[in-house]
Amino acid sequence: MSSSYLPATTDSIAQALEASNQSDSISILYRVLDDPSSSPDTLRIKEQAITNLSDCLREENRAQDLCNLLTQLRPFFSLIPKAKTAKIVRGIIDSVAKIPGTSDLQIALCKEMVQWTRAEKRTFLRQRVEARLAALLMESKEYSEALTLLTGLVKEVRRLDDKLLLVDIDLLESKLHFSLRNLPKAKAALTAARTAANAIYVPPAQQGTIDLQSGILHAEEKDYKTAYSYFFEAFEAFNALEDPRAVFSLKYMLLCKIMVSQADDVAGVISSKAGLQYVGPELDAMKAVADAHSKRSLKLFETALRDYKAQLEEDPIVHRHLSSLYDTLLEQNLCRLIEPYARVEIAHIAELIELPIDHVEKKLSQMILDKKFAGTLDQGVGCLIIFEDPKQDAIYPATLETISNMGKVVDSLFVRSAKIMA
């Protein structure tokens, strides 16, 4: 940064934009901000310079310089309205967020800005920065700290009745409780977000986020048809805005189709006009899973999980449901294979199902304990012995029912006799 300043005029801004490289543009813009004048026109030009400077620093991936810029601008913030200050601060934090690998820096920056807003008594800005901080902590899996922060923030915002911010916070709280596997609280927070959203105009992106979260919670409760409807609503909202979350909404729609055994519809959804825009690894992964499900092939299923590990295993929502689907498919295949036998080698079953012997043995022992079939594992000779299902004799339940009825009659007679004797 140069020690001499440039006057904050439109010519200086034009000079920065016409500079031959980004470094020169950044240097000129810093010099414009050093102008000591505080006239209304100067302040307006400086605001434009800050916007251009933050864009240049973001393009150069200079996250630390963006953080330093926020500190440097604090005297300037005292000269402009609080609403403009909030806009500039949130804009610079957003610029840092667009630079990859800056999660820790963003958390440190937000914490620093929260302290400054408390000291300056800027409540409106502090609440929004705290909400952003809670979201960052949740992404970093610092759940307890995020929950503590959100709990205090929700009470404060409810008192102020800031419904738009309340929608954001309730939605964030729902996601946080879902990550902690607390479904009742996640649903309660989502209901609170919907209630607040019904009272105001909610931007389409925010409405899409609410629908996406609703779909995730319904899918968790195995209500895949309702979940599909919510994912479809979210997809339409994100698709219209060209939001990158559209592809995830579409991916979850396909997941719901697979989970309700409508895997044949997956290819149709992908080849539709809307689906063709998002063809890529995310949709290819779901198509591979749908093909494996249609063919009831565990080998194809495992191949899909291996080939598309990033899209299936590393997505916690998809992974959870596909684990359940895989277990169901494996159990169905094993039951079908062992049905003709009274005694069969585990190695033979593993060969037929094309899976490792120890994997098959573990699953068979689990199925026996879960009483999916009656049998035992003879590990000495590596055999599975299947028992015939014991036929329940109908006379025993009938006898127990008769004895129970007789007991009721005796109790009734005892009560009557006690009344007569009295």
Indicate if 359 and 396 belong to the same structural domain: no
Scanning 242-278, the segments in alpha helix (DSSP H) are 246-259, 265-270, 273-276
Both 372 and 400 in a single domain?
no
Asked whether residue 352 falls in the same domain as residue 416, the answer is: no
Radius of gyration of the chain (CA): 32
199 inside domain: no
Task: Tell me the range of 30-44, 175-189, 269-283, 296-310 where mean pLDDT is highest.
Answer: 175-189
Place of tokens 């079953």: 349
How much is the pLDDT for 141? 87
Segments forming the whole domain that contains residue 67? 1-100
In the predicted structure, residue 422 carries a pLDDT above the cut 70: no
How many structural domains comprise the chain? 3
Final residue of a domain: which of 54, 83, 100?
A: 100
Q: Are 45 and 13 in contact (CB under 8 A)?
A: yes
Q: Which of 2-6, 254-258, 301-305, 321-325 has the highest mean pLDDT?
A: 254-258
Measured between alpha carbons, how far is residue 393 from residues 153, 373, 401, 405 in Å? 63, 19, 14, 20
What pLDDT sits at residue 366? 86
Q: Do residues 21 and 88 share a domain?
A: yes
Question: Are residue 349 and residue 415 in the same domain, yes or no?
Answer: no
Q: Does the pLDDT of residue 133 top 90, yes or no?
A: yes
Q: Is 68 found in the same domain as 11?
A: yes
Higher-pLDDT residue of 126, 161: 126
Largest CA distance in the chain: 113
Predicted confidence band of residue 397 (pLDDT cuts 50, 70, 90)? confident
Question: Rounded distance, CA 212 to CA 222, Å?
Answer: 15
Q: Within a domain: residue 34?
A: yes
* Residue 189 included in any domain: no
Q: How confident is the model at residue 279 (pLDDT cuts 50, 70, 90)?
A: confident
Last residue of a domain, one of 100, 128, 153: 100
Q: Is the pLDDT reported for residue 406 higher than 70?
A: yes
More confident residue, 210 or 328: 210
For range 340-347, the mean pLDDT: 85
The pLDDT value recorded for residue 2 is 43
For residues 224-233, give the mean pLDDT.
93
Mean pLDDT of 159-184: 90
Asked if 177 contacts 216 with a C-beta cutoff of 8 angstroms, the reply is no
Identity of the residue numbered 388: E
Give the pLDDT band of residue 38 (cuts 50, 70, 90): confident
Mark whether 369 and 405 lie in a shared domain. no
Overall average pLDDT of the 17-45 stretch: 85
User: Given this model, what pLDDT does residue 213 score?
Assistant: 94
Distance CA 355, CA 377 (A): 18
Q: Is the pLDDT of residue 416 over 60?
A: yes
How many angstroms separate the Cα of 70 from the Cα of each of 74, 103, 383? Answer: 7, 17, 70
**In which band, very low, low, confident or very high, does the pLDDT at 323 lie, cut at 50, 70 and 90?**
confident
Answer yes or no: is 69 within a domain: yes
- Burial class from Cβ neighbours inside 10 Å (0-12, 13-18, 19+) for residue 237 reads buried
For residue 239, tell me if it sits in a domain. no
CATH number of the domain at 375, please.
1.10.10.10
What is the pLDDT at residue 1? 42
Angle, vertex CA 85, rays to CA 84 and CA 89, nearest 5? 120
Instruction: Decide: 57 and 67 in contact? Cβ < 8 Å.
Output: no
Task: Tell me whether residue 249 is in a domain.
Answer: no
Confidence of residue 6 (pLDDT cuts 50, 70, 90): confident
Q: What mean pLDDT do residues 262-289 have?
A: 87
Question: In this structure, are residues 325 and 298 in contact, taking their beta carbons and an 8 Å threshold?
Answer: no
In a domain, 141, yes or no: no
The predicted-structure confidence for 356-370, as pLDDT tens digits, reads as follows 888 888 888 888 888
pLDDT tier at 421 (50, 70, 90 boundaries)? confident
Mean per-residue pLDDT of the chain: 87
Q: Are residues 35 and 67 in the same domain?
A: yes
Query: Does the pLDDT of residue 174 top 90, yes or no?
Result: yes
